[in-house]
Structure 1
Amino acid sequence: MPLDAIITTWSQPEVLVLAGLSLLLTVLWRVPILGWLLYPLRLLDTFVHEMSHGVAAIMTGGRFERFVVYPNREGLAHIRGGNRFVVVSAGYLGPALLGGALILLSATDLAEQMILMGLGLGLALLCLRFVRNLFGMVAGLLLASSLIAAGWYLSPQPASWLFLLLMMHLPLSAANSLVDLMRLSVRRSHREQRTDAEVLAEMTHLPALVWALFWFILALIIMVVTVTVAWSAGA
């Protein structure tokens, strides 16, 4: 079915709210104290980041063995095989792609409650299958249960606002994380774990900053294109 047959309506007020929410999330992300209000969402980013590595590995012929998530929002995916370039890049582009998919889904007739429950169920199944540390398992299942409960108990209007928050947070968090990644790429320091950009820098002999900037541009393009398609197709 063509995309324009799926898209229904996006009104101008919704787009304005979307822009305002985007600005608010960006500001909160950069305020140390207020940023903790977004801790559950930022923790969700880590799950999506690590799962994106795993999904990319599976899609390119590799194996996704397991992953861990820690309270400081760091994580590590254990991968065997697959296209290493695609697998490494997927960590930051995965959240942007998922956010873009949710933006498109928001412009369809599919109920937000169903989408929230679907996301929660998917997260729960992936956690049970692949998470291998206690904090990651507990946090992942709590996040999954919250999404399922929100979809089940919330009325359409609150569920719509929660979905709006979630769909904009994912691509914005990808962009914000890539800003931090660019800073790390410039300020090289001794760290136990290499960043994804540093891994690709070793593979391609291009500076880590180049890859961080490349992913940042792609994440912004994904968000702009999906918002434009969702709005213009339903206009």
Structure 2
Amino acid sequence: MPTLYDAPDAHFIFARDAKSTLTPTPTQKVTLIVAGCYVIAIAILWHVPYLKLLIYPFKLLTVGFHEMSHAIMGILTCAKVHSIELDPDEGGATSMSGGIPWLTLPAGYLGSSFIGACLITCGFDTDASKVASLVLAVFFLFTLWWARRNLLTWLLIIGMSGLIVLFWFVAGGVALRYFVLFVGVMSCLYVVWDVIDDTIARKVNSSDASAFAHVCGCCPSQVWGVLWLIIALIFFAAGLIVGLVAFKQSAEQQKEDAKHFLPVPGSKSGAVSTASIPSALMMMGLVVGSILFGF
């Protein structure tokens, strides 16, 4: 009976499998191209007067991710969250008492970049984008609870919810997939730009990195900013890689699957397949775990 060493090609099987797994399908190539176009468009719109108003609501949304991440980590470390505020200058603040500053301070940047990475991954598949939209809905509810007195937050979330509902109905959810992908790319890029702008390019005394440097007492804020920037870029790359590995279905397959998972009301696809919901939620859990623990 031949051993592993008798078969010269045997120990290359995993290398070939890994290569084929990461090789994008035609549908994934389109998704990667769209994501690249998003990066270029956001980078241009970010600095062009008047045109930057087009992405202004999405900037505020990513600020909401940032502040919500602070709040969630505060809850996990037994803090009491008093309020979340968003302001028209694209800033935000989370008021809380208690908790562990070592965890709550970096949670804003790292949490929002992680959320962005998960949304990028889900942007590779229509059904995953639908699940991501439901998760975003829960996020919106918690944000409204903590920011219920902030009119700007209400307007932002109502507008974003309207876009999600609208895109759910377009082309069987394809528009929703690209919307989720855009929000994910926007969230990751906002973290990168904000860290560079507030921490590395110019030191802002009120930034999370400055506050963390004060608590830590061993390194300047620029060091922590660079570290968080590297982690954010790793999350961004991980979101793309997990999407390539997890969702190999063609556009036609995704369209057919979408007919049976949370279909558009009144469509000929029939009722919602309740059996597919737990499996989709499990898939979301695997996506989160893959990005967190390096798949």
Matches within 5 A, 1:8-87: 11-87=28-104
Offset from partner CA, 1:165-204 (integer Å, 9 cap, x none): 112111111111111122231xx6xx7xx11111011112
Matches within 5 A, 1:33-182: 33-108=50-125, 110=127, 112-119=129-136, 121-155=137-171, 156-181=173-198, 182=200
Q: What TM-score, normalized by structure 1, do the two folds share?
A: 0.83
Within 2, Cα distance between the matches of 1:234 and 1:137?
33
How many correspondences in the alignment? 223
Between stretches 129-138 and 57-66, larger displacement belongs to 129-138
- Describe the SS at the equivalent of 1:11: helix
- Describe the SS at the equivalent of 1:212: helix
- Describe the SS at the equivalent of 2:84: strand
Name which one, 1 or 2, has greater alpha-carbon Rg.
Answer: 2
Query: 2:210 pairs with 198, 213, 219, which one?
Result: 198
Q: Structure 1 regions of 5+ residues with no counterpart?
A: 1-7
Seq. identity, %: 25
User: Does the CA-based 8 Å contact 1:42-1:173 persist in structure 2?
Assistant: yes
Query: C-alpha displacement at 1:234, in angstroms?
Result: 4.5
Q: What TM-score, normalized by structure 2, do the two folds share?
A: 0.67
Within 2, Cα distance between the matches of 1:149 and 1:233?
25
User: Does the CA-based 8 Å contact 1:112-1:151 persist in structure 2?
Assistant: no
- Write the letter of the residue equivalent to 2:239: T
Query: C-alpha displacement at 1:140, in angstroms?
Result: 3.8
User: Does the CA-based 8 Å contact 2:122-2:180 persist in structure 1?
Assistant: no
- Write the letter of the residue equivalent to 1:216: L
Within 2, Cα distance between the matches of 1:234 and 1:67?
35
Q: Structure 2 regions of 5+ residues with no counterpart?
A: 1-23, 249-295
Greater RCO (CA < 8 Å, at least 6 residues apart) = 1
* 1:148–1:230 CA distance, 2 compared to 1 (3 A): closer
Query: C-alpha displacement at 1:63, in angstroms?
Result: 2.3
- Describe the SS at the equivalent of 2:127: coil
Please name the residue that 2:258 is paired with.
none
Query: C-alpha displacement at 1:38, in angstroms?
Result: 0.4
Please name the residue that 1:209 is paired with.
222
Q: Please tell me the root mean square deviation across aligned C-alpha atoms, in Å.
A: 2.6
User: Does the CA-based 8 Å contact 2:167-2:176 persist in structure 1?
Assistant: yes
- Write the letter of the residue equivalent to 1:184: R
Within 1, Cα distance between the matches of 2:174 and 2:246?
23
Within 1, Cα distance between the matches of 2:38 and 2:144?
32
Please name the residue that 2:201 is paired with.
183
